[in-house]
A and B are shown apart, each in its own frame.
Chain A
Amino acid sequence: MRKQRLLLASSAALLSGLMTLPLQADTLRIAIMGEPASLDPHKISGTWENDVVGDLFEGLVTEAADGERIPGVAESWEISDDGTEYTFELRDDARWSDGEVVTAEDFVYAFQRILNPATAADYAYLLYPVKNAETVYEGDADPETLGIEAVDDHTLKITLERSTPYFLDQLSHYTAYPVPKHVVEEHGDDWSRADHMVSNGPFKLERWRSQTRIEVSRNDQFHDADEVALDEVVYFPIEERTTALNRFRADEIDVARDFPTQQYDWLQENLPDATTTAPFLGIYYYTLNTRDGHPTADPRVREALSLAVRREVITNQILGTGEEPAYSFVPPGVNRYDAPQSSMADMSQEERMARAKELLAEAGYGPDDPLELNLRYNTSEDHRKVAIAIGAMWEPLGVEVELNNSEVAVHYEDMRQGDFDVGRAGWIGDYNDAQNFLSLLETGVANNYGAYSNEKFDALMDQASETQDLDERADIMAEAEKLALDETATLPIYYYVSRNLVNPDLQGWENNIEDIHRSRWVSFDD
């Protein structure tokens, strides 16, 4: 790399005749929290992959520094009155990094590819709002029947199953990125490897050494390339948070996308300018098994358990990196939505405990017949601490908790089979809309581990999805959430925060609820 940079610098210097002033390449070095499974936007599902792929590609819509959605490849769009037809005008100057024009056909090709069952894209369901997407994915319809059409090279029409208010937001997600048809058709699945990849975003892929580093450089074909300050970005996959911190302290990286929570006090004292936390679009909760035969099938038991959990103790004393206690299932700060709070939020601790004891007694549990629970969590230091604390908080109610931990794959397998009373779970929003969270509580949904089922809740969610007026839609969803909270469908514990270490010399880094940071907005102080 160094050699290449020298070459770049010297040839530029030769050209300009300024031999004495070699160009200084601005390189941003980011520690991402895992090795990407792939750089093909159709084959990924992790936030660390988003960090890289989001710098390489640009969707119809894209994210500004503060996370707001701004036009990307699409210059403008029109939405039909019933909200089901979107017509996008693509910019004339959108180019792939090999100089080819980005056309509407590239988007059609990409949508058909990700939803093609043969691609086996595990995140394809995010595009289900598109007409026929689900039937195509299930293999029951031809990809050609998908509701996306290239009217001409620069006009793209997308038809939806029904009006979907968050659809524009979703178009900035990597599942909706274009892929270069001419390259994918030539190289097949190998197209995303460094020697073939062509992308349309602010940066283009230079090199990928697995488990070591991914190097990208500014894509001069990008329509906004003049405004991109960085010459290169290097991503280091580092899973160990402590290693990332050490490398940050040794000035080997400029940004670490997470830090070890147990070091937070030290960081605040020693690196206050570099340490940032911000509300994040995610909820940490316990799912309560409502299947027959589990004590938690009784809503009184569920409510009692929820009442006894002192969330403030968990956020302040156990975690302590700015997490907020959760009294709703949808985190605050979600677009177009105000989450209702559980009624217990206003009760004092004494009132809560008194009420909890009453409820348990009503449900038939007492000193002679103690409530025995099986609490499952996936192996992690923080999960363990939270589980132990909550077990202790339930003890005054006479609850006997058996803690079971297992590695992640086993944990979710057990959860799926319903082999638990109380199980740890978490959800990070796929897109910034309350529906993404609340749909986890609909009957028969894959991630509804506790098998919560309420006809009225389902009906409200259906009604919300048919409602076009955004305020009205929000009210209906809030009504549904209130219902779920009243029945203690789950036990929300805290809202996640995002944690980053950011070199104070960096400009343009802004915290946002989705924790999305595109390198095109970032620059170094001179």
Chain B
Amino acid sequence: MLHYIAKRLLQAIPTLLIVITVSFFLMHLAPGGPFDGERQLPAEIEANLLASYNLDQPIWKQYLIYLGNLLQGDFGPSFRYEDFSVTELIGQGFPVSLELGMWAILLALAVGLPLGIIAALRRNSSIDYLVMGTALAGIAIPNFVIAPLMALVFGVFLAWLPVGGWNDGHWRNMLLPVVALSIQQIAYIARMMRASMIEVLGSQHIRTARAKGLSEREVIWRHAMRPAMLPVVSYLGPAAAGIITGSVVIEQIFGIPGIGRYFVQAALNRDYTLVMGTVVFYGALIVLLNLIVDLIYSALDPQIRYDD
């Protein structure tokens, strides 16, 4: 097992190198530079700025400089946020995005799984239709619609919860964004769980279990749950990455200081070092999350073993 993990981590190095290289050159290929804006700078000023960030060097040299710094763990200074280094920005923002994302995933699982199971067990009943109908609506309504609505209702009209801000992760500030972020995931997970549960319940080993005279509860908990979870688990890897990265909208709407926003803003500002920093960081994160999912997979499904 350890051998397998080590191997996967080693494989991640070339993957990340490709990610870095492709994004580095793509970014520099994009028209416009970090100092293009409404006010065009006098030529000599722009020259000074470019020189101070090594941007006057040939691109291959910039690439080598960047790689060299990266190897020493230095993501460089942000072009836009001059009082902070990229490492600091990610270091400050990521715990926030992570906390938000984790709660959203936990909530999505805690609500989505039971809903899916109930719908599967009461297939074609009114509960099933209600759950699946709501789930469909949850998938269809984008979170940039739900989030401001919730802020308006619970923050402005009812004044129960703050409309925005993070307040060092106080639960009152976290509640709305976590719910807004998880609604779509709840819907996906419920639908996925229902489908896979129904499939598993119709399979041979469940028939056998029932034939042995096990109680329905035991059939479901001991024999159906684990295989039924598999598709959900494999969905969780990309979903977790998606939630943590995809909280851009939610972070903007609720004014949360995570790093989701850097993805978009840094790219728009042509803040090269910050773009690269977030890409490298997320690249590594996704590799890691996929590895974890694969490990959970093997724990759930006895047919999958990684000890080669």
Contacts and interface: CB of A to CB of B under 8 A. Distances in A.
Contacts of A122: 35, 41, 45, 49
A510 interface: no
Given A211-B261, A239-B252, A414-B31, A125 B45 contact: yes
Contact of A246 (B32, B164, B269): B164
A422 interface: no
B148 interface: yes
Contact of B81 (A38, A121, A236, A407): A38
Q: Which of B42, B49, B257, B268 has the most CB of A within 10 A?
A: B42
A431 to B, nearest CB: 13
A118 B92 contact: no
A250 interface: yes
A250 B155 contact: yes
B14 interface: no
Contacts of B40: 412, 416, 446-447, 449
B41 A238 contact: no
B165 A252 contact: yes
Interface string A27-59: 000000001111110010100000000000000
Interface in B232-270: 252-255, 257, 261, 268-270
B220 to A, nearest CB: 44
A240 B37 contact: no
B113 interface: no
Contact of B163 (A36, A125, A243, A411): A243
Interface string A200-230: 0000000011111100000000000000000
Contact of B38 (A139, A238, A243, A412): A412
B49 A210 contact: no
Interface residues of B, number: 49
Contacts of B38: 408, 412, 425-427
B3 interface: no
A139 B47 CA distance: 11
Contacts of B48: 117-118, 120, 137, 139
A193 interface: yes
B45 A246 contact: no
A210 B89 contact: yes
B106 interface: no
Contacts of A252: 162-165
Contacts of A247: 163-165, 255
A192 interface: yes
A413 B36 contact: yes
Interface in A400-428: 407-414, 416, 425-427
Contact of A37 (B81, B88, B155, B165): B81
Contacts of A426: 38
Contacts of B34: 409
Interface residues of A, number: 52
B53 to A, nearest CB: 8
B226 interface: no
B24 interface: no
A138 interface: yes
A154 B249 CA distance: 52
B43 A413 contact: no
A37 B266 CA distance: 12
Contacts of A35: 81
Interface in B116-136: none
B76 interface: no
Contacts of A425: 38
A125 B45 CA distance: 8
Contact of A243 (B33, B52, B252): B252
Given A246-B148, A250-B156, A120 B52 contact: yes
A242 interface: yes
A249 interface: yes
B80 interface: yes
A39 B81 CA distance: 10
Nearest to B83: A38
A212 B257 contact: yes
B100 interface: no
A138 B84 CA distance: 27
B138 to A, nearest CB: 22
B45 A210 contact: no
Contact of A240 (B39, B81, B252): B252
B307 interface: no
Given A120-B52, A409-B268, A246 B156 contact: yes
A210 B84 contact: yes
B93 interface: yes
Nearest to B167: A212
A35 B156 CA distance: 25
B83 A120 contact: no
B82 interface: yes
Contact of B33 (A45, A124, A413, A446): A413
A238 B33 contact: no
B166 interface: yes
Interface in B131-164: 148, 151-152, 155-156, 159, 162-164
Nearest to A212: B257
B252 A409 contact: no
B244 to A, nearest CB: 16
A196 to B, nearest CB: 11
Contacts of B156: 246, 249-250
A90 to B, nearest CB: 28
A408 B37 contact: yes
Contact of B148 (A43, A213, A242): A242
Contacts of A137: 44-45, 48
- Of the listed residues B93, B159, B255, B261, the one surrounded by the most CB atoms of chain A closer than 10 A to its CB is B255
Contacts of A192: 83
Interface in A430-462: 446-447, 449
B82 to A, nearest CB: 4
Contact of A210 (B33, B257, B269): B257
A118 B52 contact: yes
B162 A409 contact: no
A394 to B, nearest CB: 25
Nearest to A140: B44
A333 B43 CA distance: 31
Contact of A409 (B89, B93, B269): B269
Contacts of A213: 165
Interface string A170-184: 000000000000000
A209 B92 contact: yes
18 contacts: A37-B82, A38-B81, A39-B83, A43-B82, A122-B35, A137-B48, A210-B88, A211-B93, A238-B164, A243-B254, A246-B163, A247-B164, A252-B162, A408-B32, A409-B268, A409-B270, A413-B33, A414-B31
Interface of B: 30-45, 48-49, 51-52, 80-84, 88-89, 92-93, 148, 151-152, 155-156, 159, 162-166, 252-255, 257, 261, 268-270
Given A120-B48, A409-B268, 4 more contacts: A120-B45, A243-B164, A409-B31, A409-B269
